[in-house]
Amino acid sequence: MISKEMERNIKANGGIREAFNEARRQKTLYGEENVFDLSIGNPSAPAPRKVVDVIKKLSENVNLDHQYMCESGYEEVRSKIAGWMNQKYKTSYGINNIIMTNGVAGGLNMVLRALLNPGDEVLVFRPYYPAYIGFAENWNGKIIEVDPGEDFQPDFEDLEGKITKRTKVVIVNSPHNPTGVIYTKETATKISEILKSKQKEYGHAICLLSDEPYRDLVYIEEELPWWPDFYQNTIVSYSFSKSLSLAGERIGYLTIPTEFEDSENVIKAVRLAMGRLGFVNAPALFQRIVGECIDEQVDLEYYAKNREILYGTLKQCGYECIEPKGAFYIFVKAPDNNEERFLELARKRHLIFVGGSSFGYSGYVRLSFCCKYEVLQRAADALKQLADDCKIISISTIYKYR
Ligand code: PLP
């Protein structure tokens, strides 16, 4: 019954779904507290107090308007967001530059719907958020993978070589899922130089689509590059899923600058896509809530503590991984590049990870640290045992043999 394309998608999505099912199976068998599900990116930090207060206040207002609205969202909310961004990024956005969306997933689909002709190419940097494949295929786009260079910054030569006359969109994601890497200023400069030169060569605009659900989850002092400062044809897709722990409420926004090529038509097409996709408009209540909570964010310390214990444990055990600077993931190299065996041994210790193959990058696994701190505390012993199972020279092993 189902289409060939969805059949392929079900298979490609296997890793995350498999991990989820395995965690559920093990919890039933061994008890919730004995299973360490580090597979999913579902935020567990509580939403800020103000969010709860605003929900309460609005839900008690019997005259609250629940009607359909303009597909871009409430003007007063977009105006607040524009004002807030103008202060933060020294931009000059008006309400027309902001479109409220159903999270980043909704935003990315709307942009791809608006821009892609069948066969147009969408470049993504390996490892990448696996949903990009489905999002591009929804609109008959073709995913082209770009390899990583050192420390999971992009390989610029590969990027340059993979841009063709069919390249329409390049998706960047920083802070990055699944590595926690932040693209440096040098990376932003280099990417924008390449895109500018390729635009000239092919004589048409290339959209840089910045996927930013983790923009506010940063654990270092360094400032994140703001992509529109580097490259004029940038659309930013933001979401409150992680920054306010509202993932299930589906709320975010797109910014399309006036300087973006043919911006008037692009904005019209993206707005139209909201209806064509069947979203109609972003959730009314949560538009109002984020409008009132624009200065709020979840307690970053909640995830910073998780990052410290998980990264500390991994390094102590001798695992190979780089320190995540943002988001809530660590990408760990599988011993001997054997992802399947590593996942299997981990499962035996009730540790549930997602294989790097799901992110287009085999030989690694992703560990998520958006769970409760206690889970990571309890997981520490299992991670040490797993290091011994894999014959990784862990500090505990060194001590044992002394
Ligand atoms: N992009 C990346 C890189 C993600 O990790 C996620 C969710 O985990 C999303 C997009 C989807 O976010 P949203 O809930 O805003 O649709």
| Cα separation of the two ends of the chain | 62
Using a 6 Å cutoff on CB, does residue 97 contact ligand 1? no
Question: Is the bond preceding 178 in cis, omega lying within 30 degrees of 0?
Answer: yes
Residue nearest ligand 1's atom 12 by CA = 104
The strand pair at 98-101 and 36-37 is best described as: unpaired
Q: Where are the domains of the chain?
A: 4-47+299-400, 65-292
At residue 351, the 3 state secondary structure works out as strand
Q: Which CATH class is domain 65-292?
A: alpha beta
Handedness of CA 143, 146, 152, 153 (dihedral sign): negative
Report DSSP state, residue 338.
-
| Top mutation candidate among 13, 132, 239, 303 for ligand 1, by most atoms within 8 Å of CB | 239
In the reported structure, the alpha carbon of residue 283 is separated from the centroid of ligand 1 by a whole-number distance in angstroms of 17
| pLDDT, tens only, 273-319 | 999 999 999 999 999 999 999 999 999 999 999 999 999 999 999 99
In the reported structure, the alpha carbon of residue 212 is separated from the centroid of ligand 1 by a whole-number distance in angstroms of 8
In the reported structure, the alpha carbon of residue 270 is separated from the centroid of ligand 1 by a whole-number distance in angstroms of 19
| Ligand 1 nearest atom to the CA of residue 247, by list position | 14
24 strand-pairing partners: none
- Which residue from 292, 319, 298 is spatially nearest to 244, judged by alpha carbons? 298
| Top mutation candidate among 40, 177, 254 for ligand 1, by most atoms within 8 Å of CB | 177
Please state the separation of Cα 271 from the chain's center in Å.
23
- The per-residue pLDDT string of the chain (402 residues; one tens digit each, 9 = 90 and over) reads 888 777 777 766 667 778 888 999 999 999 999 999 999 899 999 999 999 999 999 999 989 999 999 999 999 999 999 999 999 999 999 999 999 999 999 999 999 999 999 999 999 999 999 999 999 999 999 999 999 999 999 999 999 999 999 999 999 999 999 999 999 999 999 999 999 999 999 999 999 999 999 999 999 998 899 999 999 999 999 999 999 999 999 999 999 999 999 999 999 999 999 999 999 999 999 999 999 999 999 999 999 999 999 999 999 999 999 999 999 999 999 999 999 999 999 999 999 999 999 999 999 999 999 999 999 999 999 999 999 999 886 555 444 433
Question: Which CATH homologous superfamily contains domain 4-47+299-400?
Answer: Aspartate Aminotransferase, domain 1 (3.90.1150.10)
252 strand-pairing partners: 101, 239
**CA atoms of 196 and 39, how far apart (whole Å):** 38
| Ligand 1 nearest atom to the CA of residue 107, by list position | 16
- Write the DSSP assignment of 185-213 as a string of letters: HHHHHHHHHHHHHHHHHHTS--EEEEEET
pTM for this structure? 0.95
Q: Are 94 and 82 in contact (CB under 8 A)?
A: yes
| Ligand 1 nearest atom to the CA of residue 240, by list position | 15
Using a 6 Å cutoff on CB, does residue 39 contact ligand 1? no
**CA atoms of 172 and 40, how far apart (whole Å):** 21
